Chain A
Amino acid sequence: MAPQKHGSGGNGFYANSTSKAANGGAHVSSGVVMTSVKRPKMEQVQADHELFLQAFEKPTQIYRFLRTRNLIAPIFLHRSLTYMSHRNSRTNSKRKYFGVNDLLFKVEKSKVDQESHNMASNLQLTFTGFFHKTEKPLQNSENEENSVSVEMLLVKVCHKKRKDVSCPVKQVPTGKKQVPLNPDSSQTKLGAFPTLIVPSHEFEPSNSHMVKSYSLLFRVSRPGGRELNGMTTRDTSMNVMEELSNRKKRFCSNQDDGETTFVAQMTVFDKNRRLQLLDGEYEVSMQEMEESPVGKKRATWETILDGKWLPPFETFSQGPTLQFTLRWTNDTADRGTAPVAKPLATRNSESSTVDSSKPSNVKPPQADSDHNNDKLRVYYQFLYNNNTQQQTEARDDLHCPWCTLNCRKLYSLLKHLKLSHSRFIFNYVPHPKGARIDVSINECYDGSYVGNPQDIHCQPGFAFSRNGPVKRTPVTHFLVCRPKRSKPSLSEFLEPEDGEQEQQQTYISSHNRLYFHSDSCMPLRPQEMDEDSEDERDPAWLREKTVMQIDEFTDVNEGEKEVMKLWNLHVMKHGFIADTQMNQACMLFVEQHGTTIIEKNLCRNVLLHLVSMHDFGLVNTGNIDKAMAQLRDLKQQKDGQEQSKMQDNADSGSSGDGKASVSNFVKTQNH
């Protein structure tokens, strides 16, 4: 159960953020209507709701699924898209100064780093504060020096053993600290912050179970009322080692009392034993415990319609978040017991930073500056059921409602919607407070594949295996073609006028389809692309046909037939078209078929053929002489060979012309 739990825990973050993105920041006007208008309208509203669902549920579910799939196995990265270039933080400026020697330097440096990591075995967390701004009135009434209690547990997910039903999980409490609530960063001094340390030996393999992954579980208890708050404040006991069940019980009781608990989980070492947390400042988004069942399991886009309030999307601007500084220290001087799980390589640790920043929603430092278009409102107007409209408003939120992708810019959002969610039609309408996006179902969407067909029929003819490298069909993808891109302007998303139906421009030109053999209708494999089945002038059936046709004659003798067949095949093979080619053709004929002619004893018939050609005015006598001379030479050679053979056999002493002709006699009869 543990890995699933682990996975779902990871998913939980997403699921929650989904609900936040889609619903959290969006106020559904119908919902508002529902509350303000009286009962009789309820049924109508419900029917309307049904219609809305009918129209939008299916595509929304599909896009939800696709989003998840793309997170797990991304086909492409959004940051590499032109209209999402602002998501790409990497620059190529370093390339200019790149030198080969730097590589060595880099490697050496990383080695040093690694060693330092080895030594820095203890995980030290210094909490800056707990931020939660939602309930301003409460805070105002409270003392500014308010604090919450933060408990940190190390969760060890172990490998499953045979007898176990699920992966055993071990939670090791590492301590509890009071952390200031909403501290003013300007006032507080650095040294005063509470610190928790996870000793290095915790990361060593335990005896009974092989630990698969480590993660930190934060629990923040915040008193709901004043008295309770005070009570918890008083409870400053550290390193309370208690049974888990007990703790849970207390949790529940606390909740009953009105205490709110927030939780968050961060992976330290993932199941591949890669270090996920590096030194740095972190801000972790917390969730309320009581909301978790909805948030995790049934977090659908529609949950908002139940009228429940969910935390706003702007987690990081409003909280609840927990800020802390994380460091791997070697203060305890336990140099011998370095953590077993260590970052494998620099590359891994680098990538893990990227990864870790995503799930834990670590606020990138540059993110703040991007949020300058504060409180931009985006109204999604859903059109369904013959122009019924429903509006959803998103404030200061440029996440895609379907895949929670933070587009950060309105232009990017619109472009993304248009390109990635083609089951809908999006039309942009300028709005004084921001933008209105009309969303309707794309009736023309037929689910047909618009990508490169070669990707579908890749390697036809090889179901599961192939022979070494295989050629691919030459397809031109316009990847680096620098197309004339018009300046990004929102006007391109305005509702198109009737006339300018955008020409479906194919971005893949040339052979963007699967071809077939014309004779067998079998798919043409890319390596067969270059051979033209029509290249041969004389297909086999035609060769056979001409032979058959000549054989059909009853009044042509077999010698003539043989010569005619040979000649026809010769002409068909070479495709002679001009009278002037004939002299050459005859010579070629004798050259190529000389042996056959002699074997079949057709010399005189060939002579007749040549004379006939001469009668037609196609060859001259000189050529006849030459051709026949060549045949004669060949024959003499052959006869000479036969003679020597015969002499070897000592069959007969004399073998003259007469003998040779006799042997030819026999041959023809056999034929």
Chain B
Amino acid sequence: TQQTKIKIKRGPKSCRKLKETRVKSEYMRLRQLKRFRKAEEVKALFQSNRRRIEGRTELLNEEWSKLRIQSIPLSTTSGSLSSKKLCMVESGFPSFPNQAVAMRPLTTVAGIPFMYSWSPLQQNFMVEDETFLHNIPYMGDEVLEQDEAFLEELIDNYDGVHGDREGGFINDEIFKELVEALSQYSDPEEEEEEEPSERTENKEEEDEKGMQKTTPEGPEESKVGFFKRKRRSTAEGEYKDLLEPPSPVKLPPLCTPSMDGPFAKSVQREQSLHSFHTLFCRRCFKYDCFLHPFHASPNVYKRKNKEIRMETEPCGLDCFLLQKGAKEFADQNMQRSQRPRRRRRQPRPSSSCGPTPSGSGEEGKEGDSDHETTSSSEGNSRCPSPAKMRPGEEGVEESDSPPQWSGAEESLFRVLHGTYYNNFCSIARLIGTKTCREVYEFAVKEMLIHRVPLEDGGISPQKKKRKHRQDVNTPLPDNSSNQVYNYQPCDHPEHPCDSSCLCVMTQNFCEKFCQCDRECQNRFPGCRCKTQCNTKQCPCYLAVRECDPDLCMTCGAADHWDSKQVSCKNCSIQRGLKKHLLLAPSDVAGWGTFIKEPVQKNEFISEYCGELISQDEADRRGRIYDKYMSSFLFNLNNDFVVDATRKGNKIRFANHSVNPNCYAKVVMVNGDHRIGIFAKRAIQRGEELFFDYRYSQADALKYVGIEREINIV
């Protein structure tokens, strides 16, 4: 219906034509502008790179110029033998003598095998599945039929090919710019044909106040004519969406301002710690680690060491403990302060929530974009957020107490209160700007506030992240016992680890990362060895696990962090005690890995590192690798495959042999399966390393065809 409406509204044909051409030319101009800008960007980037390189070379040259150069005495071949060829420079002028120098031929240098670039890595790196094919694999210059068929099949495996998705000739950015540009100079012409009412609307649009129901005809309509496929309503809607000021400072609802910054707000403990809690990987001790996509939030129920140290001695003359009733308050609230914390894990008080957490996108655009901006102080002052108001309110409320509590201090208090409880002296010391007496007074007040029933904020505990990671759905294990599944810490708060526990189901031990009780039946106890843990006497070794430095306290796995000499020989992978490897063209095929120092039998050589990819992804990648006839895939367990194609370490160049000098072993290392390469026999220095790719044929390296290896060998 709208379509027809527009058609009616359309002006004379000639005029439309004119508009169309204008749109076209404007579009072209914008495209060109964009292309130009992009080229400029690339140029600038290139130049900056050049500068960096030049800087480096200068540095190097400086080093070189400092040193005196000594020429290498070339072996002087006796005159009669070497056919002395001379390199002559003849000048046309007779006064200049010809200059000649003996030619010095360089010896031929053998070429090196082909190598695709890769990034060095010393630990596995988990990557998401690629559902889009990033590039169409290069299969050589001449297009072969079977290759084409292969490519088609390959593309079918993916949701699409990178770059295809846009497809259209216009993207949002250009669209918006186009409308803006057209709206600017279409006005005078519009005036001739259109009603004044529309003209005013036109003006309105020009000011970009916002697009109401009816957009100015001129540009929009011709656009519709131009982009025949685009329905007017959608175009309109899109434009509307795009018109929202693209504020880069717009913070998502869950983000709290920096505690150290000027706009720190008074929020609850969970909010303050939310980022730290959700992003910290308890297994890698890093934030947003490369290996574990899901980080369990801290288990606040069970502390390893319950240390609620109460300072019984006053910290000074002005200590709150000297105040009347303070000590009693501290002691009596000990229990209480613990209890509400449990409840407080999820919910948050309404007072601090304000419009912040729930107001995701539905709220008024202006307000939303303005508030909580950390960089624009202007906007803040114009529209103070409720959270900002609070301290002010408080100030009014307790005008008798002179010390003002800033948002940061309040938040900090709540955070520390959850850890230090009523040890106000410590809290005060950590806050730094308040005395313990003030802290105490504030705490008393807080207790009152907390009596108020808490409103559930209804926020998802998971931190939202731009880069989405898809859930790794652990497939239900079948009963066959030789399957090895990836370990994931179990988290079933109320139940003990029984048959419904994830760890039990996947036939893994519970690790220290599990949320279950420390005395859980399914936990691996560690070893009590006093020897090297390299025989089956050691329970860890027997279970193909490396000694856990937090469990095995006697074998030495938990000692001597800085030295490479550890008495326990079963913790080499986690400590990265690899051997020095060297890269050289192989005696067999392509590149090879060579060892620098001799090793003994069963000694750890290196970890086979690479990208950790899902089995599905490995399936897809393997197809391409098969075509390329080189694969670095290594089956890790039922869920994951290590792919050293893009990222890896030097051991990736070790070749296959049926009579190898190394063997591979998948070891459970602190909850992660990792591939260790060990010496199968004593290896001398300079020997090339081989291992049998067919290691546990059932599941290892299904993409490295044995036949192919034989071909190469």
Q: Whole-angstrom distance from the CB of A561 to the nearest CB of chain B? A: 9
Q: Which 9 A-B pairs have the closest CB atoms?
A: A559-B258, A612-B276, A578-B549, A510-B686, A615-B298, A564-B287, A555-B252, A604-B259, A555-B255
Q: A309 contacts the other chain (Cβ, under 8 Å)?
A: no
Of the listed stretches B145-153, B442-450, B581-589, name the one at the interface; the rest are far from the partner chain. B581-589
Given contacts A466-B70, A509-B684, A605-B259, contact A518 B286 (CB under 8 A): no
In the complex, what residues of A have CB within 8 A of residue B256's CB?
557
Let me know if B463 and A555 touch, CB within 8 A. yes
Of all chain A residues, the one with the shortest Cβ separation from B653 is A518
Q: Whole-angstrom distance from the CB of B586 to the nearest CB of chain A? A: 10
Q: Which of B77, B430, B684 contacts A624 (CB 8 A)?
A: B430
Interface residues of B (CB under 8 A from A): 64, 67-72, 74, 77-78, 80-81, 106-107, 109, 112, 115, 119-123, 251-262, 264, 272-273, 275-277, 279-280, 282, 284-288, 290, 298-300, 302-305, 307, 309, 374-375, 408, 412, 415-416, 418-420, 426, 429-430, 432-433, 463-467, 512, 549-550, 558, 561, 574-576, 578, 580-585, 594, 596, 649-650, 670, 684-686
Let me know if B558 and A580 touch, CB within 8 A. yes
In the complex, what residues of B have CB within 8 A of residue A669's CB?
262, 375
Let me know if B419 and A618 touch, CB within 8 A. no
Let me know if A657 and B561 touch, CB within 8 A. no
In the complex, what residues of A have CB within 8 A of residue B307's CB?
620-622
Considering the chains assembled together, what is the distance between the CA atoms of A517 and B653 in angstroms? 13
Q: Whole-angstrom distance from the CB of A239 to the nearest CB of chain B? A: 38
Considering the chains assembled together, what is the distance between the CA atoms of A625 and B307 in angstroms? 13
Q: Count chain A residues whose beta carbon lies closer than 8 angstroms to a beta carbon of B.
A: 93
Of all chain B residues, the one with the shortest Cβ separation from A665 is B262
Given contacts A513-B584, A518-B583, contact A542 B255 (CB under 8 A): no
Let me know if B106 and A463 touch, CB within 8 A. yes
Q: A511 contacts the other chain (Cβ, under 8 Å)?
A: yes
Question: Which A residues from 576 to 623 make CB contacts under 8 A with B?
Answer: 576-582, 585, 601-605, 607-609, 611-618, 620-622
Of all chain A residues, the one with the shortest Cβ separation from B66 is A467
Let me know if B580 and A468 touch, CB within 8 A. no
Contact string against B for A residues 527-542, beta-carbon threshold 8 Å, 1 for contact and 0 otherwise: 0010011101101011
Given contacts A555-B252, A601-B260, contact A625 B582 (CB under 8 A): no
Q: Whole-angstrom distance from the CB of A624 to the nearest CB of chain B? A: 7
User: Given A72-B78, A580-B550, A625-B429, 8 more contacts at CB 8 Å?
Assistant: A465-B72, A509-B684, A533-B120, A539-B121, A605-B258, A616-B282, A616-B298, A620-B307
Of the listed stretches A15-23, A380-388, A393-401, A545-553, name the one at the interface; the rest are far from the partner chain. A545-553
Q: A280 contacts the other chain (Cβ, under 8 Å)?
A: no
Of all chain B residues, the one with the shortest Cβ separation from A604 is B259
Let me know if B286 and A568 touch, CB within 8 A. yes
Question: Which A residues from 448 to 485 make CB contacts under 8 A with B?
Answer: 456-457, 459, 462-468
Let me know if A625 and B416 touch, CB within 8 A. no
Given contacts A72-B78, A515-B594, A532-B580, contact A614 B255 (CB under 8 A): no
In the complex, what residues of B have CB within 8 A of residue A510's CB?
684-686
Considering the chains assembled together, what is the distance between the CA atoms of A557 and B408 in angstroms? 14
Q: Which of B71, B259, B272, B463 contacts A464 (CB 8 A)?
A: B71
Let me know if A514 and B584 touch, CB within 8 A. yes
Instruction: Choose among A463, A554, A603, A608 the residue with the greatest number of B CB atoms under 10 Å from its CB.
Output: A608
Let me know if A552 and B549 touch, CB within 8 A. no
Let me know if B550 and A579 touch, CB within 8 A. yes
Let me know if A512 and B430 touch, CB within 8 A. no
Considering the chains assembled together, what is the distance between the CA atoms of A466 and B70 in angstroms? 5
Let me know if A466 and B72 touch, CB within 8 A. yes
Considering the chains assembled together, what is the distance between the CA atoms of A620 and B109 in angstroms? 61
Let me know if B305 and A511 touch, CB within 8 A. no
Let me know if A608 and B273 touch, CB within 8 A. yes
Q: Which of A466, A539, A616 contacts B280 (CB 8 A)?
A: A616
Q: Whole-angstrom distance from the CB of B451 to the nearest CB of chain A? A: 25
Considering the chains assembled together, what is the distance between the CA atoms of A609 and B686 in angstroms? 47
Q: A628 contacts the other chain (Cβ, under 8 Å)?
A: yes
Instruction: Choose among B299, B300, B549 the residue with the greatest number of A CB atoms under 10 Å from its CB.
Output: B549
- List 28 A-B residue pairs with CB atoms under 8 Å apart, sorted by A's residue number: A72-B78, A456-B107, A511-B685, A513-B585, A516-B583, A518-B650, A532-B581, A534-B581, A537-B576, A554-B252, A554-B466, A555-B254, A555-B275, A560-B258, A577-B549, A578-B549, A579-B549, A604-B259, A604-B260, A605-B259, A608-B276, A611-B415, A620-B305, A621-B426, A622-B309, A624-B419, A625-B430, A668-B262
Of all chain B residues, the one with the shortest Cβ separation from A549 is B288
Let me know if B288 and A564 touch, CB within 8 A. yes
Let me know if A621 and B419 touch, CB within 8 A. yes
Of all chain A residues, the one with the shortest Cβ separation from B78 is A72
Let me know if B276 and A609 touch, CB within 8 A. yes
Q: Whole-angstrom distance from the CB of B661 to the nearest CB of chain A? A: 14
Q: Whole-angstrom distance from the CB of B276 to the nearest CB of chain A? A: 4
Let me know if B419 and A611 touch, CB within 8 A. yes
Considering the chains assembled together, what is the distance between the CA atoms of A82 and B707 in angstroms? 47
Considering the chains assembled together, what is the distance between the CA atoms of A585 and B285 in angstroms? 10
Q: Whole-angstrom distance from the CB of A64 to the nearest CB of chain B? A: 13
Considering the chains assembled together, what is the distance between the CA atoms of A533 and B226 in angstroms? 58
Let me know if A524 and B582 touch, CB within 8 A. yes
Let me know if A555 and B251 touch, CB within 8 A. yes
Instruction: Choose among A537, A553, A620 the residue with the greatest number of B CB atoms under 10 Å from its CB.
Output: A553
In the complex, what residues of A have CB within 8 A of residue B71's CB?
464-466
Q: A444 contacts the other chain (Cβ, under 8 Å)?
A: no
Let me know if A668 and B684 touch, CB within 8 A. no
Considering the chains assembled together, what is the distance between the CA atoms of A536 and B578 in angstroms? 12
Given contacts A468-B70, A577-B549, contact A621 B286 (CB under 8 A): no
In the complex, what residues of B have CB within 8 A of residue A657's CB?
433
Given contacts A464-B72, A615-B298, contact A571 B120 (CB under 8 A): no
Considering the chains assembled together, what is the distance between the CA atoms of A468 and B68 in angstroms? 7
Given contacts A69-B81, A601-B260, contact A465 B70 (CB under 8 A): yes
Let me know if B649 and A553 touch, CB within 8 A. no
Considering the chains assembled together, what is the distance between the CA atoms of A621 and B107 in angstroms? 68
Of all chain A residues, the one with the shortest Cβ separation from B432 is A632
In the complex, what residues of B have CB within 8 A of residue A613's CB?
280
Q: Which of A467, A511, A579, A603 contacts B512 (CB 8 A)?
A: A579
Q: Which of B67, B288, B685 contacts A550 (CB 8 A)?
A: B288
Q: Which of B80, B375, B433, B463 contacts A72 (CB 8 A)?
A: B80
Given contacts A516-B584, A517-B583, A614-B419, contact A559 B259 (CB under 8 A): yes
Q: A73 contacts the other chain (Cβ, under 8 Å)?
A: yes
Considering the chains assembled together, what is the distance between the CA atoms of A661 and B304 in angstroms? 37
Let me know if B466 and A581 touch, CB within 8 A. no
Given contacts A554-B251, A612-B273, contact A467 B68 (CB under 8 A): yes
Let me know if A612 and B582 touch, CB within 8 A. no
Q: Which of A537, A552, A602, A608 contacts B466 (CB 8 A)?
A: A552
Let me know if B465 and A553 touch, CB within 8 A. yes
In the complex, what residues of B have CB within 8 A of residue A629's CB?
429
Let me know if B304 and A617 touch, CB within 8 A. yes
Q: A499 contacts the other chain (Cβ, under 8 Å)?
A: no
Instruction: Choose among A468, A509, A564, A657 the residue with the greatest number of B CB atoms under 10 Å from its CB.
Output: A564
Given contacts A542-B121, A601-B260, A632-B432, contact A560 B408 (CB under 8 A): no
Considering the chains assembled together, what is the distance between the CA atoms of A539 and B374 in angstroms? 34
Let me know if B259 and A608 touch, CB within 8 A. yes
Instruction: Choose among B77, B287, B420 the residue with the greatest number of A CB atoms under 10 Å from its CB.
Output: B287
Considering the chains assembled together, what is the distance between the CA atoms of A603 and B258 in angstroms? 11
In the complex, what residues of A have CB within 8 A of residue B68's CB?
467-468
Of all chain B residues, the one with the shortest Cβ separation from A534 is B649
Considering the chains assembled together, what is the distance between the CA atoms of A568 and B78 in angstroms? 63
In the complex, what residues of B have CB within 8 A of residue A524's CB?
582-583
Q: A519 contacts the other chain (Cβ, under 8 Å)?
A: yes
Q: A104 contacts the other chain (Cβ, under 8 Å)?
A: no
Let me know if A541 and B119 touch, CB within 8 A. yes
Let me know if B120 and A519 touch, CB within 8 A. yes
Contact string against B for A residues 36-56, beta-carbon threshold 8 Å, 1 for contact and 0 otherwise: 000000000000000000000
Let me know if A668 and B261 touch, CB within 8 A. yes
Considering the chains assembled together, what is the distance between the CA atoms of A159 and B512 in angstroms? 92
